[in-house]
Amino acid sequence: MQGVGGLSTLPSTMGHGCNHNALRQRMGSQRMMGRRRLLGAVLVLLAVLAAGWAGAGAPPPDQVLLTWAGDPAHSLSVQWRTSRAVTAGVAAFMPRASYYSGSTAQWGFVRAACVSLGGPGSAAAAWPNWHTARLDGLQPGTEYVYAVGDGSQEGWTQARVFRTATTAGQRFCFVYMGDAQEGLAAWGTRLKTALRLRPDAAFFLMAGDLVDLGSDLDNWTTFLRYGTDVYSQRPVMPCIGNHECMAKGPQTYLRIFDLPRNGPAELEPERAYSFTYGNALFVILDSNLSAQSQAAWLERQLAASAATWKFVMFHHPAYSSDPTQDHAALRSAWVPIFDRYHVDLVLQGHEHAYLRTYPLRAGRRVARAADGTIYLISVSGSKMYEQAQRPYTEVGFTNTATFSTIDLVPAATGGGGWLAYRAYDSWGRVRDEFAITK
């Protein structure tokens, strides 16, 4: 989805129907009670803002999630759901340090774009509205407090906190998850476990099949209900799976997630994209479409990047786990490019079992990760498949939902660094781990 940018610090007299004076007064008066501790200020703000909905006549905004459509160090996209009766949306934010100090001069306000989740002509009673606000001009490595609403005195959510991307010389961690699709309540528990184990996680990647039927509102309502506690604090960057495309194509997915629009010109925007976080490049591909149609763009992204670490994510595996599947056309189009530019990890889903390959180059096992690419498959939901033993399998197991953490630590001097990978089960037990040194 394409959001509305234009971050600015606005005077209290600004129009557009947004009561900024009221917001400042309500937030400012409560901050005075909690300056000694930011947590106290946030909790007071939450209570006051939530109470304002009692007589508003419409449910409060909910299902808030964060993504990036631009540079993660300087921007953030905030998305949320309202009833069809609410068509106005605005995001308010300020640096956490300024919020703690009691300043009201640094609140920024961004008006949101609003669409029906069901698209043009959808039944008013069936599909809610979806709002997207893009926050630009942010400072790198900085925590911000934010809230979303309709701009009225009563219409604000609780306050939340996000952090912009670090600079290239700092360590960070992210989380990778395969298909959620079925068993979303249990998936939501795993999601919270991941953040509990790694509260320093900067963002989450999901390798497609977030839901079982991409055209069904109930599927997305359930996914967002169980995901919002985490995804309103940490950005999620997904790729499209085959289940997002079922029935009517991935249009609901594309309306929900505001993602970079820097993919191949021949494709619909946001189906493939790339972004850089710190010293790592992430290239997201759409394996539902022709692999060859994305190959030249993929090569350009990898060739132009000076990042220490390179990751590629897509849904259908290049090296299959399932005994009945093989994606030879994808492997033929993309693997030589991965080899040429030494992609470190390829993150995949679709086959509902856990697989880690040996480091591979040209389809053959090599001795060191420095000489090849490691391909991973995981599942984070409850739907499971059988697995075949393949010559390229180093670690494989079935009937186990996992989430994986990936730490990137720059070298103390010069280039290079260290990667630490751990896959956890639902109870937070380590099921697989490895490290790469450059």
Contacts 24+ apart (CB under 8 A), 220-225: 220/117, 220/252, 220/256, 221/63, 222/184, 222/185, 223/180, 223/184, 224/63, 224/65, 224/81, 224/256, 225/63, 225/188
CA 164, 193, 388, 325: dihedral to nearest 10 degrees? -50
Could you count the other beta carbons within 10 Å of the beta carbon of residue 172?
A: 20
The residues near 375 (Cβ < 8 Å, ≥ 6 apart) are: 317, 318, 319, 345, 346, 348, 355, 356, 357, 360, 392
Radius of gyration of the chain (CA): 22
What's domain 20-163's superfamily in CATH?
Immunoglobulins (2.60.40.10)
pTM: 0.88
Residue that the structure tokens 């790729």 belong to: 239
Task: Quote the CA–CA distance of 65 and 378 in Å, as a whole number.
Answer: 23
Q: Is the pLDDT of residue 56 over 60?
A: no
For the chain, how long is the longest CA-to-CA vector? 68
| Per-residue pLDDT, 250 | 95
- For the segment 267-298, what is each residue's pLDDT rounded down to a tens digit? 999 999 999 999 999 999 999 999 999 999 99
| Per-residue pLDDT, 120 | 62
What is the rounded average pLDDT of the residues 361-368?
Answer: 96
CATH 3.60.21.10 in the chain: give the residue spans: 172-437
Say whether 329 sits in a helix, a strand or coil.
helix
C-alpha pair distances (Å), 282 with each of 44, 336, 437: 38, 18, 19
Q: Is the pLDDT of residue 15 over 70?
A: no
CATH 2.60.40.10 in the chain: give the residue spans: 20-163
DSSP 60: P
| Per-residue pLDDT, 396 | 97
Q: Is the pLDDT of residue 222 over 70?
A: yes
- For the segment 407-428, what is each residue's pLDDT rounded down to a tens digit? 999 988 777 899 999 999 999 9
Tell me what percent of the residues of the chain surpass a pLDDT of 70. 84
| 2-16, 179-193, 272-286: the lowest-pLDDT one | 2-16
Task: Quote the CA–CA distance of 233 and 258 in Å, as a whole number.
Answer: 16
Residue that the structure tokens 């009517």 belong to: 248
Task: Quote the CA–CA distance of 157 and 333 in Å, as a whole number.
Answer: 46
| Burial class of residue 149 (count of CB atoms within 10 Å of its CB; 0-12, 13-18, 19+) | buried
CATH of domain 172-437: 3.60.21.10
Task: Quote the CA–CA distance of 210 and 116 in Å, as a whole number.
Answer: 20
- For the segment 310-331, what is each residue's pLDDT rounded down to a tens digit? 999 999 999 999 988 999 999 9
